Chain A
Amino acid sequence: EAQVTQNPRYLITVTGKKLTVTCSQNMNHEYMSWYRQDPGLGLRQIYYSMNVEVTDKGDVPEGYKVSRKEKRNFPLILESPSPNQTSLYFCASSQGNEKLFFGSGTQLSVL
């Protein structure tokens, strides 16, 4: 089944404790991206990747890191999480300028 898999689904952590949210797609898509969703603000792009070893900042990249060592994986790293990074995170992938396939989301709470 074609899908984008995110883990974990829920995560509660404390300020400053490094964490990684994993994202994997099995559709051989070149394009992958991360979004955060906050009430009243919609979906805001954090980082995107056009292909392996090619990443670029979206609209809200501060406090986040990404890497694209393999085509299928695009992890999101929070080196020192802060409470303002409490949000719902979505990973997405697509092939060319076609529709985005979203993962099921990760609800992150930073205390």
Chain B
Amino acid sequence: GENVEQHPSTLSVQEGDSAVIKCTYSDSASNYFPWYKQELGKRPQLIIDIRSNVGEKKDQRIAVTLNKTAKHFSLHITETQPEDSAVYFCAASISNFGNEKLTFGTGTRLTIIP
């Protein structure tokens, strides 16, 4: 089955700086890559996703890049703010349906230092 590795497990960034979280996946058939943000004590929420026919996607301060050849994808957060502090999960799906067998990474705890 699919295996998703996520790094780093913890990340501290000065407010205003950029943060980058990286994930690799094992199955070249994976074609859907969402990122979820989980604030302390809350449920995970989708913040951005990318499909295998696209190399990059942006949404305001958040961007995701995908390198299919290397089988890795990354989350980039620019101009970080205190409210960006949370645990971030990457995921990969090997189904055209999108969520059928969604495999998550182990998470990155991002702390924004004021």
Contact = CB atoms under 8 A, between A and B. Distances in A.
**Chain B contact patch, size range:** 20 to 34
A94 B106 contact: no
A51 B49 CA distance: 23
B107 A42 contact: yes
A99 B104 contact: no
Given A59-B1, A90-B44, A98 B101 contact: no
Contacts, number: 62
A96 B44 contact: no
Contact of B99 (A42, A59, A90, A100): A100
A101 B105 CA distance: 18
Sorting the interface of chain A by its residue count into under 10, 10 to 19, 20 to 34 or 35 or more gives 20 to 34
Interface stretch (A68-76, A77-85, A102-110): A102-110
Contact of A102 (B6, B45, B97): B45
A60 B111 CA distance: 30
Interface in B9-23: 9
A44 B104 contact: yes
A111 interface: no
Interface in B66-100: 89, 91, 93, 96-100
25 contacts: A31-B97, A33-B99, A40-B106, A42-B89, A42-B104, A42-B105, A42-B106, A43-B44, A45-B102, A45-B103, A48-B99, A48-B101, A50-B97, A50-B100, A59-B1, A97-B98, A98-B99, A99-B46, A100-B46, A100-B99, A100-B102, A102-B44, A102-B45, A104-B43, A105-B43
Q: Which are the 7 A-B pairs with shortest beta-carbon distances?
A: A97-B98, A99-B46, A102-B43, A42-B106, A43-B104, A42-B104, A42-B107
Interface of A: 31, 33, 35, 40-45, 48, 50, 58-59, 90, 94, 96-100, 102-105
